[in-house]
Amino acid sequence: MHSFDYHPVSIVLPSPAKLNLFLAITGRRADGFHDLVSVVAPVEFGDTLTVEPRAHGFSLECDEPALEIDERNLVLRAARAFAAVAHWKGGAHFSLQKRIPTGAGLGGGSSNATTALLALNQLAGAPLSLEALTAVAAQIGSDCALFLSGGPVVMRGRGEQVQPLPPQAADRLRGRPVLIFKPAFCIGTAWAYQQLAAGAPTGYLPAREAEALVEGWIDHATAPAEELLFNNMEAPAFSKFVALPVLLDRLREDFGLQPRMSGSGSACFALLPETAPVAAITGKIRECWGPDAFVAETRLA
């Protein structure tokens, strides 16, 4: 659990990426969002956010030139939301060291926003409880609240309903080696959901079936993490971006892995045995996707 101790000086916090180990989109809601059931785990790999106190106002700089640093950025939106809810008159300057690729399904922007909330709560002397921070995070983005957990969770609703995995189930995930890899292209989240909606109801997994799959894995005390893996957003992505399934099939055939796409893509991941030939796997990824493919070896947090 995160600490909310008061710090009058600069704060440096990790801003982790996430992986959707299990993702079932169960249907479209009246408000236009989609309902889902997802088991999500943060990873040790991620960005770094440095927060310096200011007398007033919020500003942002980033070492990734392509990232917008104006009012569209979730960090600044989170800062203003925090100030409004906490009735805080202070300010801060954010410096974001960006390592999580964008357009990847790894939750980088949401993680940055939630990390900003945590930092500001420390700077302000912890005026908001974890429950209140969770409510603010849920208003900023559907998958922001999960980053307050510090470990694997089950998300429901549009992603704002977050429940920690039971300890025994979480222990089967924590510390697992994982390789994250992404091609040079991105997949738009809105496009991916539109494809699912266009094929409704075929592409959706009924909520009762999704819940049964998750509960079955949780209750099976010795079931390995690989038996949990599922993502029904792969179908529309794979139908257009054939480089994804081609590589994943190669990794299954050549290395016995069970790779999956995370979220709406385009990033994919593979849980690894401790003795996995990471260099050879990385070589295969870059052979298929080119030398610019992003690859990061990390562990589930």
List the catalytic residues.
Answer: 18, 143
DSSP H stretches of helix in 93-206: 108-123, 130-140, 167-171, 189-198
Burial class (CB in 10 A: 0-12, 13-18, 19+), 48: middle
- Token pair listed for 263: 């979220």
Q: How far is Cα 83 from Cα 118, in angstroms, rounded to an integer?
A: 12
Count the neighbouring beta carbons within 10 Å of the beta carbon of residue 10: 14
Phi, psi (rounded to 5 degrees) for 128: -110, 135
**Residue at token pair 């900003």:** 116
Tell me the CB-side half-sphere exposure of residue 289, using CA atoms within 13 A. 29
- Token pair listed for 269: 């991941």
Nearest residue to 183 (alpha-carbon basis) of 94, 99, 294, 102: 294
Contact present, 57 and 11 (Cβ < 8 Å)? no
